[in-house]
A = this chain, B = another copy of it.
Amino acid sequence: MISALHQFKAEFFKALGHPVRLAILDALRQGEQSVSRLAEELGLEQPSVSQQLAVLRQRGLVIARKEGTTVHYRIADPQVYVFLDLGRAIFERHLKSQSNQLSALQEGLSRS
């Protein structure tokens, strides 16, 4: 059975399934950052950053703090970094095993 929980969890993972959003979260490891600073740091247009921040905000992953005309964003739950780092570890093992399989395959091919 596909539970409603799977639906919600999928939304959560989807929020992380975008390179710019991952880059934003990584940039926020240093602490709170304004939109323009993030845009500069990541080499992106302001609207792109703002849009992806909106996605992260809607999913409750980041929190906005307004100060004059500038808006500072920070991570909502630092546990997310534990999670991302674990994901990275798993992901890197995958890469390694895939490249092993690839080189084994290449050896096999070159031998035949």
Instruction: Tell me, yes or no, whether A1 is within 8 Å of chain B by CB.
Output: yes
Q: Is the CB of A3 within 8 A of B23?
A: yes
> Which of B6, B16, B22 sits near A23, CB closer than 8 Å?
B6
Q: Is the CB of B10 within 8 A of A19?
A: yes
Total residues of chain A contacting the partner, CB 8 A: 45
Tallying the copies of this chain within the complex gives 2
Q: A21-62 CB contact bits vs B (8 Å, 1 = yes)?
A: 111001000000000000001111000000000000001110
Interface SS, A side: helix
Instruction: Tell me, yes or no, whether A64 is within 8 Å of chain B by CB.
Output: no
Interface hit among A66-74, A89-97, A103-111:
A89-97
Q: Is the CB of A94 within 8 A of B77?
A: yes
> Which of B8, B13, B90 sits near A80, CB closer than 8 Å?
B90
15 A–B contacts, CB within 8 A, in A order: A1-B23, A1-B43, A2-B20, A2-B23, A8-B91, A9-B87, A10-B17, A10-B19, A11-B17, A12-B91, A13-B87, A59-B94, A76-B94, A76-B97, A79-B89
